[in-house]
Structure 1
Amino acid sequence: MKLGVLLSGRGSNFVAIADAIADGSLEGCSIAVVLSNLPDAGGLAIARERGIEAIAISGKGIPREEHEAKMIATLLEHEVDLVCLAGYMRILTPQFIRAFQNRILNIHPSLLPSFPGTHAQQQAFEYGAKIAGCTVHFVDEEVDHGVIVLQRAVAVEDTDTAETLAERILHEEHAAYPEALRRVLSGAYTVEGRRYIARS
């Protein structure tokens, strides 16, 4: 299976996936291409250092549909089977989602459906939540809404700040994304309504 990774920043979840592939703990896939909407995204440089093709496709100054058409074309050119959003900070349009129906994964730094959208860790901290965490889910046409594959919980300590909580959630994200990919790539699951159900 060929993965296409989309990112907008440093790409730490991309690195976690790439490391898992490199050390053999995530088998049956390779990263075909890394794409970013920002030419200076740190994750692009890391991908290039690792010998992975990395391409910036700027969306600045062009209609979103035109930008996404370029992204879709590049992913198809690289014969990508599964798209992994790893800190990609743009909301995908239905056009993009339909092009890779049920083949897009995202990681979100909260236990969905709590705290969707941006700054989820800060939202959880300010709300006074006692348990936070992260969620890997399939992407549908609603924001942070698709079928949940995996969640990992993080206790919110009294001594936490929003920043220390975010750091601990990120640590769990790095374990969660490769594990969720292992589950999806195995094909040993069914989806019933909103429920992801593993098959033995």
Structure 2
Amino acid sequence: MAVKAAVLASGGGSNFENLVRHAGGIGIDIEVMVTDQQDAHAIRRAGRLGVPVRVFQRGDFESGAAHEHAITEALHEFEVEYVLLAGYMRILSRHFIETYEHRIINLHPSLLPSFKGKNGIADAYDYGVKVTGVTVHFVDSGIDTGEIIAQEAIEISENDTLEVLEEKIHSLEYELYPKALKKVIEGVE
């Protein structure tokens, strides 16, 4: 039986769509896509894919706690077991993380622990490293500090522009995230 999951996304949603397309092979059912941006392109992707959407803009709530409480209520409504982050650009509170302890998984566009934070690709490129990559990890109360599930490296060639590197990273994300999630889900069964 498939594990019920939610995807949290803030932007374009290409990794969300990739997860939906691979869900059967991973062993998950994506029950809902949650976003904090009412104009996120991920909403249109979810509509095309038939995945329910819940929008919770931070500004619509009096506090961060109220915002996360609304998200948690939606996740309970859909009986979500795992929370998958795919470009979700908010830092989750300790309380939220403890609610889904060891069941929130993030995709990060660098080889952690290097280049943490929201600009991992550009930071690696600007620093001039010759190798970067993608990391899938459990979320803990730090920023990009949770237990690593999987990593894969990619070389940066002299001719790579930032845009070329971004394309390489995204292609690698599309391969690694489903494989890493399958590994986690098979370990649960």
Settle same-fold status: TM greater than 0.5: yes
2:11 aligns with 9
1:78 aligns with 78
2:135 aligns with 135
Unaligned runs of 5+ in 1: 190-200
Give distance in 1, aligned partners of 2:161 and 2:50: 37
Aligned partner of 1:48: which letter?
G
2:45 aligns with 46
- Structure 1 window deviating more from structure 2 (138-147 vs 59-68): it is 59-68
The answer to which structure has the higher helix fraction is: 2
SS of aligned partner of 2:43: helix
User: What does residue range 159-178 of structure 1 map to in structure 2 within 5 Å?
Assistant: 159-178=159-178
User: What does residue range 95-110 of structure 1 map to in structure 2 within 5 Å?
Assistant: 95-110=95-110
Give distance in 2, aligned partners of 1:127 and 1:59: 33
Unaligned runs of 5+ in 2: none
SS of aligned partner of 1:110: coil
Give distance in 2, aligned partners of 1:163 and 1:116: 19
Give distance in 2, aligned partners of 1:171 and 1:74: 31
Identity of aligned residues (%): 40
- Structure 1 window deviating more from structure 2 (80-89 vs 61-70): it is 61-70
Give distance in 2, aligned partners of 1:110 and 1:183: 20
| Aligned CA-pair RMSD | 1.3
TM superposition score normalised by structure 1? 0.90
Give distance in 1, aligned partners of 2:147 and 2:17: 24
Give distance in 2, aligned partners of 1:35 and 1:45: 12
The Cα of 1:29 is off from its aligned counterpart by: 1.4
